[in-house]
Amino acid sequence: MKNFGKEELLDKVFRQKLKDHEMTGTDHLWKGIESRLEDKRRITIGGGLSWKKWFVIFSLIFVGGFAAYKLQSISNTKKNKTIENEQNVMRKNNGIAQDNNKINESTQVNENSKLSSGENEIGKEGSVSDISFQSTQENTGGVVAETKAIHSKEGIASNSKKDLGGDKVYSKTRKHRNNTRQFIENQSDIISSSKFNSTIVNTIEPNTAGRLQNESGANALLSVPLSENTEDNSISKATTLLGSVISTTTKMPKRIKKYEYEDDGCNIFKNDRKRYYLDLYYSPELTSKSITAKNPVHQKYADLRTSDEKFAVSYSMGVRGSVVFRNGLALRSGLMYSVIKENFDWDSGDEEITKTVFNQQTGKYEITIETRDIISRSNNSYKFFDIPFYVGYEKELRDFVFSANAGLGFNLSSRQSGIIYENENKTYYKLGNGTDAVSNIYKQNVGVSALFNFGLNYRINQRFRLLIEPSFRYYLSGLTTKDHILKHNTLQSGVILGVRYKLF
Amino acid sequence: MMELDQIINGCLLADRFCQKALFDRFSGRMMTVCLRYAKNRMEAEDLLQDGFMKVFLNLEQYKNDGPFEQWIRKIMINNAIKKFHKKSNQNEIASSDFLPEESVEPDVVSSMGEGELLSMINELPDGFRIVFNLYAIEGYSHKEVSEILNIEESTSRSQLAKARKVLQDKLMKFQKSYL
């Protein structure tokens, strides 16, 4: 006869009866699981991607968007320029026709002069717009001729003295240099358009003196000799003029590209001085925490803290001033306040729940007493007050300013509050400002942090910009004291949202 | 009837129909597991629901390197042990400290239903119950039990011995009432 005095047999009976036993009546539990799965699906955006993956996706979209924008803007700029130039040609032609009529009326031709004017013809043809049309007075002495060059609607006029006996040409530029440059830019575009090329051959007469001024004000890139002309050489001279114009225009953009321009809606002017800005910003952040044991013996404690202290929210906000030099180099500094918040559920005691259930089989009430843990939630927080120093670079685009900054943050003060595990046996520390326990664990000054941010700033108007910059911050030496058994590091990743105001 | 592989693949795509099929297939056996580790049915139901949530949310971690039932059972057990750790009532003392001299007739035990055996296990103090389940039913060694529960091997041995004593006591009482 077998008996269960032997322990193994007892185990065996239980194992045989229970290991693969299947209970019934679990169907009603599915509804609870289903509703929890639904909740989870609503909360988890995009099928359970972690925030790190979302951050990578966001960054890729951001970089891709920037590249697409850049390509698009280059293509649009080219298209717009072509359209604008064509429109300018049309507009200016009308203006030239009127201006040339005026010029003709006021021109006094000396008996000895050999002036021939082709302006009217050009104006009528309506193709050559801003080439300097000259009305020349030539002294009978034959030495100096006073030349007036009028640049139609751009309002640029220059007085030139031309020594007919020599090669020297003098010029005074009356108008603003930038306007001249802008004019030249337009001019070069017009000249490079096919309309101009086709019409200029047809319309320029050999006795027309064309003069184009370059941006430094130097004269006479083009000069067609005043004529005793014949029809035979007129075409070849006009062709020479065309060739010169085209060769001039092909060189032009290289020089212009060296400068940055600002467009205030009415005028285009060069950024030739330092700019000063003031930023106000707020940055929602995600914190990647790492708690490691300095000695492997304490790894269990480190793991316990890592798993049970759950990230809740973190953010930073601040104010900073910037100076941006004309080459795009930027220096920034200010004040920054940041907070990391975590939730920690801790066992604050037990409670007993007494339940009375009527048992229909026995006809009696059964009293059950259950003991349950009271779980309390502690909202732990880590607060930092820093002075950041950035060195950055800014590149002006059409509607945006691309900005990248890197630097160091110097901590002024750090504070921690909440409850954490004291050790792996799950006793607790209460973090309170300034207590000895806290200062043994956490530094009250966490030292230097590495900072990096980049992004596109949208130009709202001349004074304000909207800041949208992904940012990263990492405290280099960690948050814990050197005597503590654990090392606590954080990497904050966020997006700076703010306003940049141009001071002057 | 759907193959298990199809069900798992469907669950990986968060297909609700497949999730329900997986639950239907394993919930009965897993409920028994949960009942063994829990103090009562209500707690077991909580454990089962939590366990299945973990199964669905971590299914991609199943690498097909062993029987699926073993994997899901492990999740249920780990979940129960985690709950047990939270309670940390390991220092409960057994209500009975003596080993009965009389033996229990096997026929008596065989005639006992699974429900009665389960309720006997349920009545064990938490620490005893967990150690008995891990060692006697799941087949872990004392070393493994000590690692899982983060206790000394000697503690595991003594808790098992005490659990057996309590169970034998209960069986004796049952036998007396049976006879």
Residue A434 pLDDT exceeds 70 = no
Helix, strand or coil, per DSSP, at residue B144: helix
Q: Determine the pLDDT at residue A100.
A: 54
If we measure between CA atoms, which residue out of A442, A115, A500 comes closest to residue A279? A500
**DSSP conformation letters of A376-427:** EEEEEEEEEEEEEEEEEEEEE-SSEEEEEEEEEEEEEEEEEEEEEESSTT--
Q: pLDDT for B17-71, tens place per residue?
A: 889 999 999 999 999 999 899 888 888 898 999 999 999 988 888 877 788 888 9
Average pLDDT (B74-87) is 85
- DSSP letters spanning A287-329: EEEEEEESSGGGHHHHHHHHHHEEEEEEEEEEEEEEEE-TTSE
**What is the average per-residue pLDDT within A153-179?**
42
Pair of tokens at residue A446: 């966490």
A40 pLDDT higher than 80: no
Q: Tens of pLDDT along B83-126? A: 887 765 444 434 444 444 455 555 666 677 788 888 888 888 88
Q: Which residue has the tokens 């707020």?
A: A282
For residue B165, which amino acid is it? K
Alpha helices in chain B (DSSP H): 4-12, 16-37, 41-57, 68-87, 106-111, 114-122, 126-132, 142-149, 153-178
pLDDT band per the 50, 70, 90 thresholds, residue A12: confident
- When scoring B137, B149, B158, B178 by the number of chain A Cβ atoms within 10 A, the one with the most, hence best to mutate, is B137
Among candidates B29, B45, B109 on the partner chain, residue whose Cβ is nearest the Cβ of A4: B109
Element (H, E) at A369: strand A364-396
**Predicted local confidence at residue A95, as pLDDT:** 62
Positions of CATH 2.40.160.20 in chain A: 272-347+378-502
Q: What is the C-alpha separation between A473 and A449, in angstroms, rounded?
A: 7
Q: How far is CA A498 from the centre of its chain?
A: 12
Determine the straight-line distance between the first and last CA of chain A, rounded to whole angstroms: 103
Q: Where are the domains of chain B?
A: 4-87, 106-178
Structure tokens at B90: 């390991």
* Residue to substitute from B49, B54, B92, interface A, most A β-carbons within 10 A: B49
Q: Which of A7, A8, A26 to mutate to test the interface with B (most CBs of B within 10 A)?
A: A26
A442-453 confidence digits (pLDDT tens): 888 888 999 999
- A42 vs B: CB within 8 A: no
Number of helices (H) and strands (E) in chain A: give both, helices first: 9, 15
Q: Is A37 in contact with B32 (Cβ distance < 8 A)?
A: no
Cβ pairs A/B, distance under 8 A:
106
Distance CA A100, CA A152 (A): 8
User: For B27, which of A7, A18, A29 is closest by C-beta distance?
Assistant: A29
Residue A404: name the closest of A499, A330, A493 by CA: A330
Q: Examine the pLDDT at A80 and tell me if it is beyond 90.
A: no
Assigned architecture for domain B4-87: Orthogonal Bundle (1.10)
**The pair of three-digit structure tokens given for residue A492, joined into one six-digit string:** 């904050």
Taking contacts as CB-CB distances below 8 angstroms, the residues of chain B near A427 are none
* CA pair distance A496, A68, nearest whole angstrom: 22
- pLDDT greater than 90 at residue A432: no
Residues of A in contact with B56 (CB under 8 A): 33, 37
Structure token pair of residue A134: 């000259």
Which has the closest alpha carbon to A341: A310, A376, A306, A386?
A310
Residue type, B154: S
Please check the confidence at residue B145 and state whether its pLDDT lies above 50. yes
Q: Dihedral of the CA atoms A91, A93, A95, A96 (nearest 10)?
A: 160
Q: How confident is the model at residue A71 (pLDDT cuts 50, 70, 90)?
A: confident
Work out the number of other CB atoms within 10 angstroms of the CB of residue B23: 24
Give how far A344 is from chain B: nearest CA, Å: 14
Give the C-alpha separation, B94 to A22, whole Å.
29
**Residue A479 clears pLDDT 80, i.e. is over it:** yes
Q: Does residue B125 contact residue B90 with C-beta atoms inside 8 Å?
A: no
Q: Check if the beta carbon of residue A423 is closer than 8 Å to that of residue A394.
A: no
Assess whether pLDDT exceeds 70 at residue A38: yes
DSSP assignment letter at A267: -
Mean pLDDT for the stretch of residues A396-424: 85
Residue of chain A whose Cα is closest to the Cα of B27: A26
Architecture field, domain A272-347+378-502 = Beta Barrel (2.40)
pTM given for the model: 0.39
Q: What is the CATH number of domain B106-178?
A: 1.10.10.10
Q: Measured between alpha carbons, how far is B116 from B120 in angstroms, rounded to an integer?
A: 6
